[in-house]
Structure 1
């Protein structure tokens, strides 16, 4: 399993477009450029660049077709390799593995009030956050675990955060078990990976910074 990450940069925006955009088919280019904010354009572009680089460098896959499942989750056609992309503030991450997975990254915003999200928590989760010495840290630990599981499950917005509870890094959704693992990428961000495959519990990902 590998995790690639990089940061968006307004100063490098045009040079990134000039360098990487031509490498993608016209329809993908249109999809990237449909965003109005430069940040969203870069998130979309760099997520695909990280995936392309990771597949070629670590899995010897130079060309791969991405298909979209009915649940809107992308998948590599003709390859038993799985990926997931996430971004927050300035950070973009892409996880690639031999089994289905989800990854979530969140910027640790000190202005966040966890009480604004109480309706999305179970009673046990809320209690854990309130009992923590660093409530903001506990909140983001809760948040990235939940989001990573939702992305691994593939239900997207159809699955509410309070519909399942993670205990000891495990949970069940519709009789399917999921496992989570905290990952460190940067001190200003919280990151978690999740999968229905137990390998995620013991995996030590190769974490690589992608530098222009």
Structure 2
């Protein structure tokens, strides 16, 4: 969803939107100091609710979410126990949310034909300090990328229309960062995870059309993190934002099916009307 900074206050009061979430989520949102951060997080929470209503037949006003040990939103166990919504079905729903810059994006499992792990990340390219060289900027992240990945960034072709020669290098940096973050989020691990234990090999440049050709090498495989079974989808949302979705599907057959599904054909860009069409206020908020 495109989070234009001027949309939220003009369409509906924030207090009205907060009434569409349970108190535990409202309290968490009100802890944000920056209004923009709170707005993005609020949109993300509304998107999660809309996803479960639209794709899994849940009642909006009965959904509640908690956090995993890695601070990943998960469906509350109380919902699974007390709601008559096929708990054995809901407990396997994989979903993930990310927000940065002007965008909030959600990736969710709608088929549930087999267990899947999902992670998604979106990045705004405009984060480099003006006038700072790419070498200076990227030197702060050498411990997060492999030599192969850093070489890929540095080898980006010069863009004659860019204000400086680092434009495409920076885009490649954020592309790699998106991919790293999507895997970390799919695994559900913490920020201390070794990001150099795996690397990405890009087969083609990112465009507005989603691609699934990127491959990953895993140098420290484990039962929780194997090289086999991963599919990645990437694309540009606009001139300044990219996203990456990581999906661990399991078998090679499932990977082949996943590559045909993760091709951007199911991406939906929501406006406020679509997002809130099934929304209902939560009772007993105070």
Task: Please tell me whether residue 149 in structure 1 is matched to residue 161 in structure 2.
Answer: no
Secondary structure in 2 aligned to 1:111? coil
Task: Please tell me whether residue 27 in structure 1 is matched to residue 24 in structure 2.
Answer: yes
Aligned residues: CA RMSD? 2.3
Unaligned runs of 5+ in 2: 81-86, 130-136, 158-167, 202-213, 250-254, 273-286
Cα deviation, 1:119-144, whole Å, max 9, x if unaligned, reads 32111111111222132222122111
Residue pairs, 1:88-107, within 5 angstroms: 88-97=100-109, 98=112, 99-107=116-124
Structure number with greater Rg is 2
CA contact (8 A) 2:233 2:263 kept: no
Write the distance in 2 (CA, Å) between the matches of 1:158 and 1:117: 14
CA contact (8 A) 1:8 1:92 kept: no
Aligned length: 208
Shift of 1:16: 4.4
Determine the structure 1 residue equivalent to 2:8. 12
Question: Which structure shows the higher strand fraction?
Answer: 1
Task: Provide runs of 4+ in structure 1 moved above 6 Å.
Answer: none
Write the distance in 1 (CA, Å) between the matches of 2:128 and 2:66: 38
Determine the structure 2 residue equivalent to 1:161. 195
Write the distance in 2 (CA, Å) between the matches of 1:30 and 1:58: 27
Secondary structure in 2 aligned to 1:47? helix
Determine the structure 2 residue equivalent to 1:176. 226
Cα deviation, 1:172-201, whole Å, max 9, x if unaligned, reads 342423432213432320100002213543
Shift of 1:95: 1.3
Write the distance in 1 (CA, Å) between the matches of 2:13 and 2:105: 17
TM-score, normalised relative to structure 1: 0.85
TM-score, normalised relative to structure 2: 0.65
